[in-house]
Copies of this chain bind each other. A is one copy, B any other.
Amino acid sequence: MSIRIGILGYGNLGRGVECAVRQNPDMELSAVFTRRDPSGLSVLTKTAAVESVKNIADWKERIDVLILCGGSATDLPIQTPEMASMFNVVDSFDTHARIPEHFAKVDEAAEKSGKIGIISVGWDPGMFSLNRLYANAVLPDGCDYTFWGKGVSQGHSDAIRRVEGVKDGKQYTIPIESALEAVRSGKNPELSARQKHLRECFVVLEDGADPDKVEQEIKNMPNYFADYDTTVHFISEEELKANHSGIPHGGFVIRSGKTGWNLENNHIIEYSLKLDSNPEFTSGVIVAYARAAYRMHKEGQCGCKTVLDVAPSYLSAKSGEELRKSLL
């Protein structure tokens, strides 16, 4: 029997999850839940129901894992605990500073309902967190580095679009190669924000807007751009659409650490991602953890978990025996 998946929220991430479910033969997409009028929403999976979120309680017995595809700012802090009272859930809550609080709420709901809630699943938090943990456990004496990009930062692109005179825009976060090389050399450099990443902006101006004024406003924007070397390119709307409509991303997690009786030997552990589609890759991670949630619940476990709490073998459709034979 397939693992029956529900999706709540059908934006980029929801569509990514739909595609990822299709790549996993042990799963099926049962329903997509929306806050909009369901009659206006058409999904790719012809066998899946499209339902109003108002009716979601009716699906308690027909869905094994509900995947929450809303945003971390306002949706997930409410939705994940609420849904964990009825379903096994997986979310991609990514506001690092608020994870402990979110964990506590989801844990309370899931302990009460006897369900599993896996939060903060994706690549950062997610695969990057796993790599930080493994590398820290293996090399206790060392330094951690995380670089992001090259990729589109949604938050920084939104910030550009709020500048007066900007019609549309995209921002790429780019790791600085010389900083990466310094880290890989084992020198354990201390790096400022400016030394680690460049910010490159592609901007479409409103008719009559002053490019110099827009450029200065972007470059001096506190938190977002002022602490970085930022370049601004003005391009046409057509060019933005043709060359910058993808959502690529990626990054690097590096730990440089020492071993030996006198810490005389150096080691570099590096994990990197180069992603054509940020939401589709995130969805691949989420769907693997949905499998884990299903299995852990079947075993009688409940409560809130993160990627750090889930044994890797739960993520694979293969048996332990197959995994030992083929992957170990």
Which A residues lie at the B interface, using CB under 8 A? 16, 18-20, 22-24, 44, 96, 99-100, 103, 120, 125, 127, 129-134, 136-141, 184, 257, 259-261, 265-277, 280-281, 283-285, 288, 291, 306-313, 315-316, 320-321, 323-325, 327-328
Contacts and interface: CB of A to CB of B under 8 A. Distances in A.
Most buried by B among A138, A260, A306: A138
Given A99-B328, A137-B291, A309-B320, 15 more contacts: A23-B141, A100-B321, A133-B313, A138-B281, A139-B281, A139-B284, A184-B274, A259-B284, A265-B275, A267-B275, A268-B272, A268-B273, A268-B275, A271-B272, A308-B328
Tell me the dominant secondary structure on chain A's binding face.
helix
Contacts of A127: 134, 138, 269
A135 to B, nearest CB: 9
Contacts of A130: 134, 312
Contact of A311 (B268, B284, B310): B310
A260 B315 contact: no
Contacts of A309: 311-313, 320
A277 B186 CA distance: 14
B315 A327 contact: no
Contact of A265 (B24, B259, B277): B277
A270 B251 CA distance: 10
A235 to B, nearest CB: 23
A324 B99 contact: yes
Contact of A312 (B133, B259, B267, B269): B133
8 contacts: A24-B140, A99-B328, A130-B312, A133-B312, A257-B284, A265-B275, A268-B272, A312-B312
